[in-house]
Amino acid sequence: MSEPFDVVDLIRTKRDGGELAEAEIDWVIDAYTRGVVADEQMAAMAMAIFLRGMNRDEISRWTAAMIASGGRMDFSGLSRPTADKHSTGGVGDKITLPLAPLVAVFDVAVPQLSGRGLGHTGGTLDKLEAIPGWRADLDNEAIVRQLEDVGAVICATGSGLAPADKKLYALRDTTGTVEAIPLIASSIMSKKIAEGTGSLVLDVKVGSGAFMKDLDDARELARTMVGLGVDAGVNTSALLTDMSTPLGLTAGNGLEVRESVEVLAGGGPQDVIDLTVALAREMLDAAGRTDADPREALNDGRAMDVWRRMISAQGGDPDADLPTAKETETVAAEADGVLTRLDAYAVGVCAWRLGAGRARQGDAVQAAAGVELHAKPGDEVKAGQPLLTMHTDTPERFGRARQALEGAVEIGGTAATPGQVVLERISG
């Protein structure tokens, strides 16, 4: 069968700053998925997009073509509206865990199809797999049934959703084109739109521990994704949130589950509570539940009840002890003063080197590995006082993990006021 286009012509068009036509975009995504366009040709196209960008029409069509490469979920038969959240990833970002059951308290279904961690950012599925018996893989029928019965599900994305994205994502990771905003936005939104949610809230992280270090870049990414959602008929908004310091007091799979359960029990670190509540309000407003009070549902145990049912429905034991690391080592403050900086990226790399993350897709992770913080920026500390504790089952990892923290901690003489977690809101 002859093909309607020559991929080299399309690469040249984009390389020279031209605009790809709708039919050209549809063909190149389909042909790449079928194997007609080779990896090295798509790598050249990705680099051309990285260097030359895409306009809104092109990004919208590119996203639609990625969705069309696979199936779509359908939640229209549910008795309640659906709302989903996507985070661009950070250090200590366990927000999905308390958020999904919290929103479900108010008769909103939360289909949280999630992924695994790579590099210094943790994956939601890796965290939950620290719970004995819990399973990530559900078929579509089981997802719909759990949404109707429990109201919330956190599980793996099915292989049938946007298969073109899975292929392109792996290619971008090895060709220096991960940071292209049109490709990030279309990757995230193709999966989220294919999931079939009625409304979507994006948590776009900004700062050293985030993908986007710069506020302007994060804002551009958020606006691009919100535009894609609106174009596809999904009620979409975004919060820009701070990731210059880790969220909460833990980074690592089992450690973050423990902290999430503390939040569901009405306690936990203030920044985790505040961000969970802010995102819950966004999701509930989008789903038409404008009079809901998510903070009250954390405090009175209703969110915990849904959590327990959600974990049990996927084979997990909500009462089981979480794994604990065989070895720990403490890092202490070197001077008296105020902790003025604790770099999120460094803590993420430290947790990763301890065994909490993976360098390549498919690597195993340690459920108990990670970093526990004993102070946050703005806290007074004394010389010799523990700042953080490293956890691992393989103590030979401590040396490299400690190296990741060099230059990450600053202690000064004056108290810095901790900044707001939510920096900005962007809507369609």
Where in the sequence numbering do the catalytic residues fall?
86, 165, 172, 187, 191
User: How far apart are the C-alpha atoms of 108 and 83, rounded to whole Å?
Assistant: 7
User: How far apart are the C-alpha atoms of 122 and 251, rounded to whole Å?
Assistant: 8
Of 238, 262, 247, the C-alpha closest to 210 is 247
User: Rounded to the nearest 5 degrees, what angle is found at the Cα of 373, between the Cα atoms of 368 and 374?
Assistant: 130
User: How far apart are the C-alpha atoms of 147 and 314, rounded to whole Å?
Assistant: 12
Answer yes or no: are the C-beta atoms of 94 and 268 closer than 8 Å: no
Alpha helices in 237-356 (DSSP H): 253-264, 270-286, 294-299, 302-313, 344-351
Answer yes or no: are the C-beta atoms of 93 and 247 closer than 8 Å: yes
Query: Can you read off the two tokens belonging to residue 329?
Result: 């080592």
Strands (E), 294-403: 327-332, 337-342, 370-373, 380-381, 386-392
Element (H, E) at 155: strand 152-156
User: How far apart are the C-alpha atoms of 197 and 186, rounded to whole Å?
Assistant: 16
